Structure 1
């Protein structure tokens, strides 16, 4: 059962839900809070995090009580929401967007008895952990598929903001693309939003008008998929969840973020008294990232995608192994070497073959 009440955070809505096991030496249920940058109905990033929250309720029953706040802007509103969650009895709080980082770090210091987790972040403290998925592994596979699918050799890529997470995705996609089709290029259009169907549709239609016949996205609504489906001759990839319902003939596959195992494990750690600050970064091998079914493509392309996926998951293929040069010609990764995690977390450059502005 989901109960709704209001928070003093502008237009953001607070939803409260109960569910999940007991334990952490308490009679009251463990209160777990979630803060989302988009609506839970975006069918993308926030939707998948909320699926993880719902999995908590199913797993733990009445041992936990979950609360979520959706559509929270990255800025002062995030700090207010986090503070209200911390002062209302929540002992574990998940902040699920990169732009919540500073606010989460500040509130974590103010509430040392509350445990915080920040998705895609890098600031940690004794009561503040970070976690993410290696989505770039999936984006490399998308690039391979795009390289074998395109006939125009023009790929459109809709990005949210030029942060390392998004740049890693663009670069991984382009490296996968060029591994099978060195002539193809990627044109990046910045939507400057995580979720705005109108802006995302405009960006998709713009790259289609420029000749792109495959579209990838790092924004959260299905609008680019619907634009591709309406175009009739454009293929597309889903974002964060399987979006095939919005583009039944255009979607080739999608990267699916599965947060449920992580959320269940971290709640169990709190209940057991074993929670510690950490940095978790799981990919295909860990199961944090899945690929939706490979559809609307020739069998040989599907087989190549499956082979690539298996090589990445096994460790045979490191997607950021050298030689890699940026688009200015500077060697970023030498032959025989690979980009380590620290360098990936600070990525602020495009690989060769990426077109479009790179705001500083």
Structure 2
């Protein structure tokens, strides 16, 4: 028994050390008890999962208070060596060394953590022995659903995930992550019985290395880090051989995910970016006299209105900067892992700056920026940011508010239609701004939202039928959201008199939001070539921050276009006045009080919604009729939706 007693003392020392650390931080120095944190009223169901293997690291505490004082928070023993408890621990340890602990424990699972009802000492011995798994009879306690509680929303996603895959060792801290992991498992056939072990093996090798490199210091779960890794470095045979090298390259981005204070969103071109910080700064070595610039597009200008707009921006850049820049466009880049090959080729052709103009290229852009640090990469997207490259987008909801003003004022029936494609926050905020603008001048205005899939060949007919439905409802002004496909009826972006949208007619656009990508590209490229792009951040001590440009009408990158011949002069004057109010920062389109469709107050009077809430918007304001479809109601393998769709349980 000497071996057991010696190891009990070692385990006890570890336990006492942990207790002292917890006490010095003012934390509870014993394992938590489920009874102490759970009210029976909050549990809606108990499910017997039977016998299964559970990760020892996910055993959080005890079922009752009875034995919790015998253990440190990490289940190391802390009672004296002469106690009966110590003698039983020693016996169990000797048995484990000789033949292994085989008798399953009994646990309750709550929010994917386990609480021991029978077998606390077995857990302690195996934890000390650095075992990974333990057999357990598991009873799952399912809490009442609460859409306002993020942890419970994630847990319900986990329940669906577990039903499909019986995987309990992964946990994520963001809504939608279990959905994403489900798709990855399907992609690599890890749901097949003969391949389930592959995922477990890869994950635990990743986990071991992640912890070794200091993952415990980053406030995200190992699952969060693993998912981000697979986004950037898709699974390949031989992944283990490059795992450490890739993970080290990605490390700074994982720190960004876990650190809210290392993130910066620039709302307008700052004075620092407009001119050098010190006299003569542009003559320093990091300033550029010439730049070679590549634009990577998902489609071509002939097939996509979105690409066409960016191409106008590229040509503007050539026109205003002359011989100081050389640009090229690369069209029809696949919106999947193959995009990295195009980025790699451009980087190796010595391009100084590479713009990827679709949000779907976000992860491939990150991978390229990690591999080619001498190149400045920028991706056109609004809700994700990284340290190794920058993102850029416009506050398109601002001109949509003005377009809504015109629609509300010009409508005779007070019924407005809005035909839209993608259920992503950018679109939701634009619809809401449009509705608020309409009600700004016409408090009786109602907006009816209809969704159409612009990825299908029948989109034009579907759009026409939706227009007809809206007309039958009494709608007299219809807004078409801009489409990525020029061949669809959504090519008519902006607002129109409904009766002009009938087949065979050429409608006249009353007003539409407009992108000035050329202004964007000129400002960004001048900033890079002046040497201010990275230097300024470094001088101010924030070179570790992730930077995203999210500019608005005040920067000239988004605006409104309207028909002067169709609109009355007083209305034009009102729109011009409100545009100035918004650009001067005097008025915000999302100024409270704002209510959702259920008449619940979302924004208080005298305040306006935060930028982050706009970027994550997943609700409609009062006055909008319609619902936001889940991703399953749209194209299943549409990367834009998978990345940015409003998060709902699949």
SS state at 2:423 partner = coil
The answer on 1:326 being equivalent to 2:599 is: no
SS state at 1:278 partner = strand
The answer on 1:206 being equivalent to 2:450 is: no
SS state at 1:127 partner = coil
Deviates more, 1:168-177 or 1:88-97: 88-97
Residue by residue, what CA displacement relative to the aligned partner does 1:318-342 show, whole Å, maximum 9, x if unpaired? 1011111121333221111111111
Number of the residue aligned with 1:264: 522
The change in CA–CA distance for 1:209 and 1:90 in structure 2 (over 3 A counts) is same
Number of the residue aligned with 2:556: 287
Contact 2:476 2:497 in 1 (8 A): no
Contact 1:33 1:90 in 2 (8 A): yes
Q: Any gaps of 5 or more consecutive residues in structure 2?
A: 1-284, 535-545, 631-650
2:399 to 115, 133, 138: 138
Number of the residue aligned with 2:315: 54
The change in CA–CA distance for 1:25 and 1:309 in structure 2 (over 3 A counts) is closer
1:223 to 489, 492, 500: 489
Write out aligned runs for 1:211-360 (5 A): 211=471, 212-220=475-483, 221=486, 223-224=489-490, 233-234=499-500, 250-276=508-534, 278-295=547-564, 296-360=566-630
CA distance in 2, matches of 1:96, 1:170: 23
**C-alpha displacement of 1:278:** 3.0
Number of the residue aligned with 2:357: 96
Higher RCO, 1 vs 2 (CA within 8 Å, ≥6 residues apart) = 1
Contact 1:204 1:224 in 2 (8 A): no
SS state at 1:233 partner = helix
CA distance in 2, matches of 1:123, 1:228: 27
CA distance in 2, matches of 1:315, 1:231: 32
The change in CA–CA distance for 1:86 and 1:355 in structure 2 (over 3 A counts) is farther
CA distance in 1, matches of 2:628, 2:463: 16
CA distance in 1, matches of 2:510, 2:371: 46
The change in CA–CA distance for 1:294 and 1:87 in structure 2 (over 3 A counts) is same
CA distance in 2, matches of 1:316, 1:326: 24
CA distance in 1, matches of 2:421, 2:409: 25
TM-score by length of 2: 0.46
Aligned residue-pair number: 327
SS state at 1:254 partner = strand
TM-score by length of 1: 0.79
The change in CA–CA distance for 1:30 and 1:293 in structure 2 (over 3 A counts) is same
CA distance in 2, matches of 1:315, 1:84: 43
SS state at 1:41 partner = coil
Contact 2:482 2:491 in 1 (8 A): no
Contact 1:226 1:247 in 2 (8 A): no
**C-alpha displacement of 1:289:** 1.5
CA distance in 2, matches of 1:302, 1:161: 30
CA distance in 2, matches of 1:278, 1:358: 30
* Greater fraction of residues in strand: 1
Q: Any gaps of 5 or more consecutive residues in structure 1?
A: 1-22, 237-245
Aligned CA RMSD, in angstroms, stands at 3.2
The change in CA–CA distance for 1:169 and 1:26 in structure 2 (over 3 A counts) is closer
The change in CA–CA distance for 1:300 and 1:272 in structure 2 (over 3 A counts) is closer
**C-alpha displacement of 1:118:** 1.5
The change in CA–CA distance for 1:326 and 1:261 in structure 2 (over 3 A counts) is same
1:82 to 340, 343, 353: 343
**C-alpha displacement of 1:227:** 10
The answer on 1:172 being equivalent to 2:433 is: yes
CA distance in 2, matches of 1:216, 1:289: 18
2:412 to 151, 157, 167: 151
The answer on 1:107 being equivalent to 2:368 is: yes
> Rg larger in 1 or in 2?
2
Write out aligned runs for 1:30-45 (5 A): 30-41=291-302, 44-45=305-306
CA distance in 1, matches of 2:392, 2:515: 12
